[in-house]
Structure 1
Amino acid sequence: MILLILILVKLLSPELASAKVVNTSLCNTNDNNWAFVKEKNKIKLYERWITLNDSQAVRERKGELLTTCSFDLVEKYLRNCNTASEWFIGIKSIDSFSDSSHHLLRINIELPWPFTNRELIARYSFFKTDSKHSVIKVMSTNNYHQQKKQNKHYEASWTIERISDELTKITFKTFSNEAPKFPQWIQEPVIKKVFTNNLLRLKKRLSEL
């Protein structure tokens, strides 16, 4: 039960040093300095420390996988926000809505007692960089009323790369600035396991398309 609580509480908020709001324009986000963590079923996991606002160090995670699902199908699947609940453990529902300038997601996260359920409202963006690459980004926003306890700042991105007609590479990156709920020696192995298992579930789901 303790492990289940740890998994769900930290699902969308990897452990970090503090809880102040992030100005992502000030992040050190060059794509270097990744440390290899492990590989499972041909899914590779990396992590690194990045600096926010020139002072706050946070842990960013990255997972890489290859799928025999075509580029177009992967892109279509990941662009459909409702599919996240099929592979992302803990997500109860995702609703999409828009304001005058952004496409937004309202993500409902179920947590067991004694924790309250959480809600994440995030901006959703899709970029087609060229015929072989596309990027999906999700970034939390606090500009909207939230009915439940909200997650602190959270960012995630999927980079989709066409390797061949029947082979596609997916790179998933995520970080949050939410303060840790438990000692790192307890929660860190659990977070890594959940992160890896989510990617395993995604890879399996894509193989079924």
Structure 2
Amino acid sequence: MLKRKIILLTACFLLLIDGFVQAKEPAEKNKSAWELARKAEGVSLYYRWLTTDSMKIREMRALFQINAGVSKILPLFSCAENYGAWAVGVKECKIETFSDSNWVTYSRMNYPWPFKQQDLVARHLVSRVDSETVISISAEPAFFAEKEGIERMENYWGEWTFSSLNDQATSVDYRMISYTKPLFPRFMQDPVIQKLFIESCTELKQLAEKQ
């Protein structure tokens, strides 16, 4: 039974941060410097603005450390029960696995009013280069059938980078980019989303370190 939570960050979780994104990272023309927005529980959240040919968009970044190896972290993304235990706000989750580096996750979020009930179908691809392991996440909305009364998220892009410091420590770098306008003014929405995202990162860290 999935652990009850309040709200997600996508990574995954993070699907309320300003909106949802395309399935691939854009080729930006100009980018501002990262600015620290919040730091708590060992998690640092940053934002920066990117300018493309057609729009100005905001990128979010989270940095923290987990005192566990990557082999203890990856199963927390690829197993539905594990994912539901740390991904805050996930009411329902199922995963179809093709290999240990390729799976599709269905997540239904239980957001409090006035947010809409939404779900996300996203493919996760794992790549490894030297001491880095990357999970690239992109929306694949047609993979699972839509459910009546639930709004399907059409666009999403996120990336988790895990850098091994040693066998017992991993540096985590999460990034996501949003294209659409926030549902509410950022000065109202950001503090809430940041707090809940940090909660998810903390749950992820604690679960990995218990393995």
What range describes the TM-score normalised by the shorter chain of this pair?
0.7 to 0.9
Query: Higher helix share goes to which structure?
Result: 1
Unpaired runs of 5+ residues, structure 1, are: 1-5
Aligned to 1:149: 151
**What CA distance in whole angstroms lies between the structure 1 residues aligned with 2:32 and 2:172?**
18
Normalising by structure 2, report the TM-score. Answer: 0.77
Q: What residue is the counterpart of 1:38 in the other structure?
A: 38
Report the number of matched residues: 196
- Residue pair 2:25, 2:157 contacting (<8 A) in 1 also: no
Instruction: Tell me if the contact between 2:24 and 2:157 (Cα under 8 Å) persists in the aligned partners.
Output: no
Moved more, 82-91 or 175-184: 175-184
Q: CA RMSD in A?
A: 3.1
3-state SS of 2:88 partner: coil
Q: Percent identity?
A: 23
Name the structure 2 match of 1:75.
Answer: 74
Distance 1:31 1:74, change over 3 A: farther
What residue in structure 2 maps to residue 22 of structure 1? 22
Partner in structure 1 of residue 121 of structure 2: 121
- In the TM superposition, what is the alpha-carbon distance from 1:150 to its structure 2 partner? 1.3
Q: Give the conservation status (yes or no) of the 8 Å contact 1:122–1:140.
A: yes
- 2:54 is matched with 55
Q: Paired residue for 1:84?
A: 83
Find the counterpart in structure 2 of residue 162 from structure 1. Answer: 164
Q: Deviations over 1:127-169 (max 9, x none)?
A: 1122x11111111134444222112422221111110121111
**Counterpart Cα distance in 2 of 1:104 and 1:138:** 9
What TM-score comes out, normalization by structure 1 length? 0.78
Change (3 A) 1:107 1:203: same
Q: Does structure 2 retain, via aligned residues, the 8 Å contact 1:108–1:118? A: yes
1:42 Cα offset (Å): 2.3
CA distance in structure 2 between the aligned counterparts of 1:42 and 1:115, rounded to whole angstroms: 28
1:184 counterpart letter in structure 2: R
Contact kept, 8 Å, 1:154 with 1:177, in 2: the verdict is no
